[in-house]
Structure 1
Amino acid sequence: MADLHSPFRYDYVGSFLRPENLKKARADYKAGKISAEELKQVEDEEITKLVEKQKKAGYSVITDGEFRRSYWHLDFMWGFQGLQEVELDHGYFFHGEETTHGSVRVTGKISGENHPFVEHFKFVKQFEDENTVAKQTFPAPAQLLAELYREDNGKITDSIYPDQEQLIQDIAAAYRTVIQDLYKAGCRNIQLDDCTWGMFCDKLYWIARQGDDTSFEAEAEKYLRINNLALEGKPDDLTITTHVCRGNYHSTWASSGGYAPVAPFLFANENVDAFYLEFDDERSGNFEPLKYIADGKKVVLGLITTKSPKLEDKQAVIARIHEAAKYVPLDHLYLSPQCGFASCEIGNKLTDADQWAKLALVKEIAEEVWG
């Protein structure tokens, strides 16, 4: 039996374009036209079809495509005790487009028991076989911490958690609860999605966000610490990876900048097994910051974009893999798209056929490079 721990030589981040049938069902549920059970039935059917396609494409990892979610991050956050769904006055401002306005707000002590994602995972796990394993994706603790200080959220967060250290400890403990519950459910592959580091790479974003209130180093250490606190005590045979990008909404992006500012913190000291890293265009900078990757850690190069249907030049991608190998040994490198295909329900500007053509290219290149 093959080693079924991520990353895999050809891999993907996890979200897939939502089928029209699923989009309609979710809209009907929101409008009160169908019940929660009827929505779940459609979700179950579409996830079952997706897993069949993932296997047919020859991939070793299966996910639910995030089909039960509106957002890549918020639905998970809404699943914690002590947090609630809210709408803000503004969404995130991406390049040329504003996202929808959903967010999350503190209502009381944060904890992680009875998280709905555990049941979501169990549904996918039933489809595992000798060649495939289920991966569960959800946002990193740092992402939740950032969301709780977005716009007016911060005033409410401070009113309930006047001691930020207690907030950090409660978030980390809530994550540890979910991680342990997923492990008990048979999960051995978890991916933490974390856009906070991509934002920190953007100098203009940093100036707009922080001003002179705090140092970059202090914030980076705080975000690193909360992520590592959440991973304390994890079982030895549980693989935890992280994915970093600069925003992915309807084929638009949020931030720019290479990894150099965050590499000494994230790459050197985050206690994950591998990093899925966006490298699909010049906004992500060069490969030099990979020199900070800690010994033994793996890097999944996100060299194929999910933002455009245009297929990359195979030889150009292969050349970039070998360029990255100057900083990380080739046998510690892997290949994937730079992000998911649908970080939110709206999805990126590709067709279903485009999506699978991208994944076929990833597989073809990986087999040529690594055999």
Structure 2
Amino acid sequence: MTSKLHRGPPFRAEHLGSLLRTEKLLEARHDWEGGKGTEADLKPIEDHDVKEIVKIQQDLNFHALTDGEYRRHMFWGSFWPGLEGMTEVAEPDPAIFRMYIPDIAAFTEAGYKPGETVICTGKIKHKGSTYTDQFDFLKSLVPGDEVKNIKLTLAAPNWYHLRYKQGQAYPSDVYSSDDEYFADIATAYQDELKILYDHGLRNVQFDDPNLAYFCSEAMLEGWQKDKDNIYSADELLQKYIHVYNRAVARFQATCMLVSISVAATSLTPGTSQRVSMFFHVSSDQLTPPLGGYDRIATKLFQELNMHTYYLEYDTPRAGGFEPLQYLPKDKNVILGVITSKFPKMEDEAEMEARVREAVKWMVKGSGETEEEALNRCGVSPQCGFASHSSGNSVTRDDMVAKLKLVRRVADRIWPGQP
């Protein structure tokens, strides 16, 4: 038995947004960033490749189309340049970082400096959207009645806070407390979402690996040992949830779907060949490995005001499906049971069985029928294919094969549904 017809996002077959770039685009962006080319040289290549990747998604019968994040260097890119009071630091002092935060630890252990460092240097104020051009071009490529389905991914509002030691994310003469800082961050996101909503965006996804760090025993142990911290890890997690809830408060009663992707393992092995340039470095460098969602499940599912959760479930490192018993009946989950890290193809029947196992845990907590719980699910790869533009060892052909697999698994479970 299958669930009733499902309309609108989230869809049965989904992906997380970032897709592999062509070599031509990578070379052009490298030249531009190195001062060898101009934006005028880069943009036509971006336009061409965005058109191409949209056509690929349409041909594969995906509906929450993205531009592959082709106009970004990193998955969190684009937001901070639209804010007054934020400054990029080219050569940051290592002393400003919490070295036990998983991505910072992995970079350091590998002998590299952390990725892009942006620090608050003045009062934060939204000064104009850096996403509208991306979105407007994307929506020009689809029929008018499909604009509501296309998806834009946004950076996590905690991205430029957790990685820095207490007191290093902003000057004390600018903000007297984290709460003041977070209030302006939330307001900036409200302003951004309002602009994007007015441009027609109805499907937005926050990409947030940081929330999963609160499941990491290594991170939690480091947190306890850090005498500079003025909160427990649980207290900071609560503050981050509050920031999110303030940021999206205006849109909970609208037709905008607000979702979040939370990677359970967060540092995915093999996601980049150039770890110095990419946040997703080898998880082999993390000991012990990050765990599943168990530790944060109640707060994540019941206190964070998101309609849909994209969760990583491609390996045992992500833990079991037990936390899904805490997912409320009015929320959806996209199960990332297919890996984007390696080209080996998963078995369709095994993937269907995993989805149905997840549904049983949802039913245990909600008391609904399996059919009703299944109606709140979809499938996807566990992560983007190119959270950093350089991607990984998976080829574009591999990526297309994986997306076809996602579509086949979705059709197997929900025949005839988008």
Once the two structures are TM-superposed, the CA of residue 146 in structure 1 deviates from its matched residue by 2.2
Alignment correspondent of 1:299: 333
TM-score, with length taken from structure 1? 0.92
* Partner residue, 1:370: 414
Does 2:138 match 1:120? no
* Structure 1 vs Structure 2 CA RMSD: 2.2
The match for 2:199 is: 185
Within a 5 Å distance, the mapping from 1:5-154 to structure 2 comes to: 5-87=8-90, 88=92, 92-94=104-106, 97=110, 101-129=115-143, 130=145, 133-147=149-163, 150=164, 154=168
Which consecutive unaligned segments of at least 5 residues does structure 1 have?
none
Structure 2 Cα separation of the partners of residues 152 and 347 of structure 1: 32
Please, which of 313, 318, 321 is the counterpart of residue 287 of structure 1? 321
1:357 matched to which residue of 2? 401
The whole-number CA distance in structure 2 between the counterparts of 1:219 and 1:159 is 22
CA shift in 2, pair 1:302/1:84, >3 Å? same
TM-score, normalised to structure 2, is 0.83
Between 117-126 and 129-138, report the one with greater CA deviation.
129-138
**What is residue 365 of structure 2 aligned with on the other side?**
none
What amino acid is aligned across from residue 356 of structure 2 in structure 1? H
Between the aligned residues of both structures, percent identity stands at 33
Go from structure 1 to structure 2 and tell me whether the alpha carbon gap of 1:89 and 1:74 turns closer, same or farther (over 3 Å shift). Answer: farther
Asked if the contact 1:74–1:103 (Cα under 8 Å) also holds between the matched residues in 2, the reply is: no
**C-alpha displacement at 1:92, in angstroms?**
2.9
Show the counterpart of 2:309. 275
Larger strand proportion, structure 1 or 2? 1
1:156/1:142 CA distance change after superposition, 3 Å: closer
What's the counterpart of residue 242 of structure 2? 225
CA contact (8 A) 1:78 1:85 kept: no
Matches within 5 A, 1:199-238: 199-211=213-225, 213=229, 214-234=231-251, 236-238=254-256
- CA gap of 1:324–1:219, structure 2 versus 1, over 3 A, is same
Shift of 1:37: 2.0
| Counterpart-to-counterpart distance in 2, 1:240 and 1:192 | 8
In the other structure, the counterpart of 1:331 is 375
Q: Any conservation in 2 of the 1:84–1:106 contact (CA below 8 Å)?
A: yes
Larger mean CA deviation between 54-63 and 34-43 belongs to 34-43
Q: Give the gaps of 5 or more residues in structure 2.
A: 95-102, 273-279, 363-372
Answer whether contact 1:82 1:111 (CA < 8 A) is retained: yes
User: Counterpart of 2:237 in structure 1: which amino acid?
Assistant: A
Evaluate the alpha carbon distance shift between residue 143 and residue 317 of structure 1 in structure 2; reply closer, same or farther with a 3 A threshold. same
**Partner of 1:326: helix, strand, or coil?**
helix
- State the one-letter code of the partner of 1:241: S
Shift of the alpha carbon at 1:229? 0.8
Displacement of 1:156 after TM fit?
4.1
After the TM superposition, which residues 249-268 of structure 1 pair with which residues of structure 2 at under 5 Å, given as runs? Answer: 249-250=271-272, 252-253=282-283, 256-268=290-302
